[in-house]
Amino acid sequence: MNNTYRNVKLASLMGSERTTVRVGDVEIGRGLTVIGGPCSVESEEQLLEIATGVKKAGAELLRGGVFKPRTSPYSFQGLGLKGLKIMEKAKEATGLPIVSEVLDTRDVRWVSDYVDVIQIGARNMQNFSLLKEVGKLRKPVLLKRGMQSTLEEFLNSAEYILKEGNPDVILCERGIRTFETYTRNTLDLSAVPALKELTHLPVIVDPSHGTGRASLIEPMSLASVASGADGLIIEVHNDPPRALSDKDQAITPEQFSKLVKNSRVVRSALEGLT
Ligand code: PEP
Ligand code: MN
């Protein structure tokens, strides 16, 4: 069995050396890093309430989308610059570094001045111009797996970023599309240990988009941690039924708090295994 891909060079695991990605005081790839926050930034009140909640629950980074890749052009598209300014305020209030997605190459430079981590979403995993553009930055990139992508394609996308000179890439498994419809996607947790034997890059899991159902997020978070994930990215909302995007998979800060506690228990147990 082959566990290398011919064109994956910079991303491939050579020896046992693992990369960690530093974001402020956090080192992703060392211990378990938890990222929480809403799918979309909706207002200052909403984000500040959620940010305070996720911080209290033990999250180390705050997520929030301001450019949303929605299936329908009539759905809420995000607040753009106004949303970034709200994220800056939430960062100031909580001290949490911020993660936000960019959809367009024209926005990469200026958005990178506001955020600590640039997210490339599943739909853009093979947007090669976008990958090259974020590769020119000195800013960590959270690269999500495309919903139709193989691990080889995923790692080739990471390779695009690394090849441009940006070494700080975090991979994120977020579920792939299968025949199953009960869940929004099928969370491919075998990708976690598989990626660990293929690449030195940190690997985190997004069980929110991976399942699409609030009730499944804690169990799949625990399973993600047990599979060896370096972190979790979770959608949290102060009033899930009213969320402007992805309300079915939003959990409350209280649910998130329990999830974080239990995830750390699983992580400690894992570290105790031989
Ligand atoms: C998101 O994180 O809000 C998002 C749109 O995720 P994905 O690209 O994985 O669908
Ligand atoms: Mn979402």
Digit-coded pLDDT (tens) for 22-37: 999 999 999 999 999 9
**What whole-number percentage of the chain has pLDDT above 70?**
99
Which tokens belong to 163?
A: 């090849």
So where are the chain's domains?
A: 32-273
Q: CA quadruple 16, 19, 25, 26: dihedral positive or negative?
A: negative
Cα 235 to ligand 2 centroid, rounded to whole Å:
7
Q: Which pLDDT does position 4 carry in this prediction? A: 87
- Only one residue has tokens 């960062």, namely 91
pLDDT at 16 over 90: no
pTM for this model (two decimals): 0.98
What residue's CA is closest to ligand 1, atom 1? 39
User: Which CATH number, 2.60.40.10, 3.60.21.10, 3.20.20.140, 3.20.20.70, labels domain 32-273?
Assistant: 3.20.20.70
Ligand 1 pocket by C-beta < 6 Å: which residues? 39, 65, 69, 121-123, 144, 174, 206, 209
238-263: pLDDT as tens digits: 999 999 999 999 999 999 999 999 99
Nearest ligand by distance to the CA of 67: 1
- Only one residue has tokens 């190459």, namely 105
Q: Are 175 and 147 in contact (CB under 8 A)?
A: yes
What residue's CA is closest to ligand 1, atom 9? 122
Report the largest interatomic distance among the alpha carbons of the chain, rounded to a whole angstrom.
Answer: 53
